[in-house]
Amino acid sequence: MTTDFDVIVVGSGPNGLAAAVNLQLKGLSVLLIESKSTIGGGLRTAELTLPGFKHDICSAIHPLGIASPFFNTLSLNRYGLQFIEPTVAAAHPLDNGKSAILTKDIQETASRLGIDRDNYLRLIAPIVQDWNAILPDILAPFHFPKNPIKYSQFGLKALWSASHISKRFETSEAKALWAGMAAHAIQPLENLTTSAIGLVLLAAAHKVNWAIPKGGSQAIANALTSCFLSNGGSIQTDFHVKSLGQLPSAKAIIFDVTPRQLLQIAGYTFSNIYKWQLEKYRYGMGVFKVDWAIDGQVPFTDEKTRHAGTVHIGNTFAEIAHSEARTARGEHQEKPFVLLAQQGVYDTSRAPEGKQALWGYCHVPHGSKQDMTEAIEKQIERFAPGFRERILARHAFNTEQLESYNPNYIGGDINGGIIDWRQLFTRPALKSSPYRTSTKGLYICSSSTPPGGGVHGMCGYHASERVFKDLF
């Protein structure tokens, strides 16, 4: 490659794609580089178990994908992307036979929580009401919000630990529903700011639902790629960037990688203080993931749970909080918190008729190589007796294998680094702009930058806006 470009984007995850698309739409010449043969990063779908079963290799359910302010400007349905809305966004079964159910209808969800109805509405309704006004501030680097009064309805609650917020509820169902949402923070629920992700996920469900991309997560990457190419973008696949010297000339290079890879590629160009900050950057718990080909559906005891796009498995708040805290301390759990996605309940294109491609994972200590298949399946069987009898085939990833597949998943950390209070405002380093490195023309746009993990593309969008303002 000898052609000069205005901008080169290294890495084609949702953030790399978003950065490339945004700058190409601004009239710049952009080259997108990907080390694998297909575009997508965490947005890939493949037949991992049996022929005809399409499994999402990394991310699966996308509440922030359909809510993303940037993705929504692109009208990705024009490029073949279709989202399916489940009638039940998420379910949380309990040992007592009851389940907490999350639907798009906030009143329905609240009413099913019995005496916690009003407690739930007081917590979530203001955020849902002001969603459109505050979401751009939520999915952005730290700044003074455009709507400070409305934002405070979210921000003041988001600073608390999930354990503190759980005290607002009286029933085991409401507490459990909250625990499952907050556990997406992938850290102990006693930590400050663990409420933030729970609030966002609940509000997103009521505002836009937890959407499922038809055909698999790869469909999101394919739509973004089509948008990029149709506007004149260039792509180079099967190109693993190990040093800056491999790259053609460009005014700016944006890296959709985490600090560890960035140091390996360009660390010799950084200032001592910036290099030191990246070296101190912390990664969090990993995940152990299993994909199953099953006959029929998961036989959950609770009928509503059978219709949920996502199922949180872990029983009570106390049990989940205990599991997450012990895992963060480096211990493997016999009864881990399990996130299960039943996309096939609504998207029948993913498996042969009468079958389903099932997706699930649990949190494990950073870098764990322990096989958690047995523990995960026991947890599912706990609430769905007969589940194992329906398994036709399975495929598992430990943290080492996940990182080998996607180098951004350091030690199995799918969030690009822990988002606790110590690192919330310093991802990936303390700078006036989190997307600039200390070297002019080099930028970072991965989930290691604000607003963090999730398929929303906003890290890439904000990084590309910074590049455009700085250089163009």
- The region that residue 396 occupies, defined by phi over 0 for left and psi between -120 and 50 for alpha, beta otherwise, is beta
Residue 115 is given by DSSP the state G
Q: CA-CA distance, 452 to 419, in Å (whole number)?
A: 8
Is 223 in contact with 76 (CB distance < 8 Å)? yes
Average pLDDT, the chain: 97
Tell me the per-residue pLDDT of 437-450, one tens digit each, with 9 for 90 and over. 999 999 999 999 99
Select from 202, 218, 162, 214 the least CA-distant residue to 39.
Answer: 218
pTM, rounded to two decimals: 0.96
Q: What is the pLDDT of residue 4?
A: 86
Does residue 216 carry a pLDDT above 90?
A: yes
Mean pLDDT, residues 200-229 taken together: 97
Tell me the per-residue pLDDT of 277-321, one tens digit each, with 9 for 90 and over. 999 999 999 999 999 999 999 999 999 999 999 999 999 999 999
Does residue 1 carry a pLDDT above 70?
A: no
Structural tokens at position 462? 């904000």
Domains of the chain: 5-82+213-282+408-471 (3.50.50.60), 85-211+285-405 (3.90.660)
Q: How confident is the model at residue 455 (pLDDT cuts 50, 70, 90)?
A: very high
- Which helix (DSSP H) or strand (DSSP E) does residue 109 occupy? helix 106-111
Does residue 2 carry a pLDDT above 80?
A: no
Q: How confident is the model at residue 126 (pLDDT cuts 50, 70, 90)?
A: very high
The DSSP code sequence of 256-293 is -S-HHHHHHHHGGGS-HHHHHHHHT-----EEEEEEEE
Q: What is the pLDDT of residue 345?
A: 97
Rg over alpha carbons for the chain, rounded to the nearest Å, is 21
Q: CA-CA distance, 471 to 169, in Å (whole number)?
A: 51
Mean pLDDT, residues 460-464 taken together: 98
Q: What is the pLDDT of residue 3?
A: 67
Residue 324 half-sphere exposure toward CB, CA atoms < 13 A: 29
Residue 77 is given by DSSP the state G
Q: How confident is the model at residue 423 (pLDDT cuts 50, 70, 90)?
A: very high
User: In 10 A of CB 186, how many CB atoms?
Assistant: 23
> Given CA atoms 194, 371, 308, 81 in this order, what sign does their dihedral have?
positive
> Given CA atoms 119, 120, 123, 125 in this order, what sign does their dihedral have?
negative
